[in-house]
Amino acid sequence: EPVQQRRFAGKSTLLNGLMGQKVTIVTPKPQTTRNQIVGILTDDDAQAIFMDTPGLSQVRGRLSKTMIQAVWQSLGQADVIMPVLDAHLYIRHPEYLDRDLAPVAEALASDERPMVVVANKVANKVDLFADKSRMLPLLTRLNEMWPRAEIFPVSALNKDGLPELAKLIKKQLPKGIAQFPEDQISTAPVRFMAAEIVREKLFLHLRQEVPYGIAVEVENWDEDPEREQTIIHAVIYVARPMHKGMVIGRGGSVLKQVGMEARQDIRELIGGKVHLEL
More confident position, 124 or 252: 252
pLDDT value at position 4?
Answer: 36
Q: What is the model's pTM?
A: 0.62
Judged by average pLDDT, the poorest of 30-39, 78-87, 117-126, 232-241 is 30-39
Strands (E), the chain: 37-42, 47-52, 84-86, 116-120, 150-154, 215-224, 229-237, 273-277
pLDDT for residue 187 is more than 70: no
Model confidence at 174, in pLDDT bands (50, 70, 90)? very high
Give CA separation, 19 vs 16, 39, 45, 201, in Å.
5, 7, 16, 20
Over residues 69-96, the pLDDT tens digits come to 656 666 677 889 998 898 888 988 988 8
pLDDT value at position 8?
Answer: 53
Over residues 228-269, the pLDDT tens digits come to 888 999 999 988 888 899 899 999 999 999 999 999 999 888
pLDDT value at position 143?
Answer: 93
Give CA separation, 12 vs 25, 51, 91, 138, in Å.
7, 10, 21, 22
